[in-house]
Structure 1
Amino acid sequence: MTMSRGEAYGTWFCADPADGPERTAERVLPLVFDLARPSSVVDLGCGTGVWLAVARRLGAETVLGIDGEPAAGAGAGAGLCIPPDCYLQRDLGHLVRLEGRRFDLALCLGVAEHLAPVRADSLVADLCALSGLVLFAAAVPGQPGGEHRNGQWPPYWRDRFQRRGYTLVDCLRTRLWDDPEIEPWCAQNAYLYASAERLAGDPRLREAAAETGRMPLTAVHPGLAALPSRAFAPPVPAPPEQRAAPARFLPTASATRRPTGPGSG
């Protein structure tokens, strides 16, 4: 049996769209749309399609959600937030390739940690095959949630995207961190990854990429610390030249922002 993201998280992810997932999508996606202006969006691990429904309201003309078996109660399209013909059932534990189809933006949010470690490289390959721009979020070790099989710190995923020529664009977290409407897992873990071709053709995206480094990749959101969880595990040791900063809790993102304006250097 395949497991969808909705099954792994239960009612947390497949809740009424008025709850947290939609509120979070409504705060995050406008930032991405303002930057990238995508007309087509694919969501690998879409759950009920909440994020894609928001993408459609923001102007995406084409959306496609891909996930495993529908969550309990979803049936054959019932309970989806997108039209059934915009939903494709696939086992996310195996390669997901759509020959000849590319999208302006790919989403993969809260999915990677539920898949076996052996799937990590091919998951990144799937996403890179789908789009030159990926909005990606994955749980870190010890983060609250069900059925986590491969919780990893962001450098683990960054390195896999880099091997395929994608650059981490960390322009979202400083804008999301202090927003109480955004679920802390997203404020902590949301990154963009852009292909070299996409960066070369988009000055605004290159400008956003220049923001990378304003926050440590291993920062833990205090909102997650308040939830029942195993203790957050430290990052897996890496060679000195690749070693990330230790995990830390940051009370606010503003404390880590570089000054802007005249005299900021």
Structure 2
Amino acid sequence: MGIPHISSRWYDAWYFRHSCGKPYERNEEWLRFFRAIADRIVAEIRPRTVLDVGCAMGFLVEALRDRGVEAFGIDISEFAIRQARDDIKAYVYVASVLDPLPSALPSRYDLVVCIEVLEHLPSNRVDEAIKRLCQLSDDILFSSTPDDYREITHLNVQPPEYWAERFALHGFFRDVDFDASFITPWAARWRRSSDPFHRVVRNYERKFWRLWRENVELRTKLLEMRDELARLEAIKDVSRHGENQYIRSCSLMTGMNKIKNFIKHCLTRLGWIP
């Protein structure tokens, strides 16, 4: 069986109702999500022009325009584009990242946003799509699920290092000091770099070292807390046979609960529990 061809008919009303985790429609939850993204983009990147590739119903485009940014969007779904807010319809177009932009759109942008889009492309079209993104801007906010294989239109689900390699082929590297997790936990900001290779490696190593040390320190603290929890439980067992059992148990339970809460906090920081 060959690689499926991309079809805009996949992205109809049924798709947006059933294939986005929750119904993708104009409601306060989705609007609040994209408003929050727009707020962070405006505050931390400050672009004058933005292209949202795979804009769906244009929620991010409208949020950015409401904040004074000259934003545009493209999406292959005719259904989604028809759902855009009336005053936004002039700025969103039925188009694919694989094709030349509509003539009415600018050819370059301060920022390109591409959220959960490229996993919908077959693997043999990904490099072409990334090349187009990199031609449109020197600054790209990008997110693509690393593990959602259940959605039937996800033709090329890949881990973060796959996308890092693809962008690096075009001279784009992760901005290791920018936290894009306000979009998704795996989102990243890719920027064109003219730095020599040794400087790029230095930046990556700086970030890796800090995260590795944090991981080791948290793991060490967790093991210490585990030992303390075991000690307190042993004391609790002994106290059952002595006087003032209730008072001692309450005190020990308070200490144990504090430790359990700290362990949960550490595991969350490490990403081991949601």
Q: TM range, normalised to the smaller chain?
A: 0.5 to 0.7
Cα RMSD after superposing both structures: 3.3
After superposition, the C-alpha distances for 1:188-213 in whole angstroms (9 at most, x for unaligned) are: 2211101126x89xxxxxxx989854
Deviation at 1:4, TM superposition (A): 7.0
In structure 2, the partner of 1:228 is: none
After superposition, the C-alpha distances for 1:32-86 in whole angstroms (9 at most, x for unaligned) are: 32222101110111100111111112320x2211111322xx5xx5420362221
After superposition, the C-alpha distances for 1:1-27 in whole angstroms (9 at most, x for unaligned) are: 4257676851246312412x3322223
1:14 counterpart = 2:11? no
In structure 2, the partner of 1:222 is: none
In structure 2, the partner of 1:220 is: none
Amino acid paired to 2:193: A
After superposition, the C-alpha distances for 1:163-203 in whole angstroms (9 at most, x for unaligned) are: 11111124225x64xxxxxxxxx422211101126x89xxx
Please, which of 75, 82, 103 is the counterpart of residue 109 of structure 2? 103
In structure 1, the partner of 2:237 is: none
Query: What does residue range 94-243 of structure 1 map to in structure 2 within 5 Å?
Result: 94-97=98-101, 101-170=107-176, 171-173=178-180, 176=182, 186-196=183-193, 212-213=207-208
**Contact in 2 for aligned 1:4/1:47 (Cα 8 Å):** no
**Contact in 1 for aligned 2:35/2:63 (Cα 8 Å):** yes
Amino acid paired to 1:132: D
**Contact in 2 for aligned 1:140/1:151 (Cα 8 Å):** yes
TM-score, length of structure 1 as denominator length: 0.63
In structure 2, the partner of 1:59 is: 68
Q: What SS does the corresponding residue of 1:48 show, helix, strand or coil?
A: coil
**Contact in 2 for aligned 1:2/1:91 (Cα 8 Å):** no
Amino acid paired to 2:73: G
Q: How many residues end up aligned between the 2 structures? A: 197
**Contact in 2 for aligned 1:133/1:192 (Cα 8 Å):** yes
Q: For the structure 1 residues 194 and 17, does the alpha-carbon distance in structure 2 shift closer, same or farther, using more than 3 Å as the test?
A: farther
The whole-number CA distance in structure 2 between the counterparts of 1:143 and 1:97 is 30
TM-score, length of structure 2 as denominator length: 0.61
The whole-number CA distance in structure 1 between the counterparts of 2:169 and 2:206 is 21
The whole-number CA distance in structure 1 between the counterparts of 2:122 and 2:46 is 33
In structure 2, the partner of 1:31 is: 40
Amino acid paired to 1:34: A
Amino acid paired to 2:130: V
Deviation at 1:143, TM superposition (A): 4.8
Alignment identity in percent?
22
Tell me, which stretches of 5 or more residues in structure 2 are unaligned? Answer: 1-6, 197-202, 213-265
The whole-number CA distance in structure 1 between the counterparts of 2:160 and 2:167 is 11
Query: What does residue range 33-52 of structure 1 map to in structure 2 within 5 Å?
Result: 33-52=42-61
In structure 2, the partner of 1:68 is: 76
Amino acid paired to 1:65: G
**Contact in 1 for aligned 2:54/2:117 (Cα 8 Å):** yes
The whole-number CA distance in structure 1 between the counterparts of 2:170 and 2:158 is 19
Q: What SS does the corresponding residue of 1:128 show, helix, strand or coil?
A: helix
The whole-number CA distance in structure 2 between the counterparts of 1:210 and 1:96 is 37
The whole-number CA distance in structure 1 between the counterparts of 2:23 and 2:207 is 29
Q: Which one has the largest radius of gyration?
A: 2
After superposition, the C-alpha distances for 1:83-123 in whole angstroms (9 at most, x for unaligned) are: 2221121245x334468710111011111111111111011
Amino acid paired to 2:26: D
Q: Which has the higher contact order (CA 8 A, sep 6+)?
A: 1
Amino acid paired to 1:70: E
More helix by share: 2
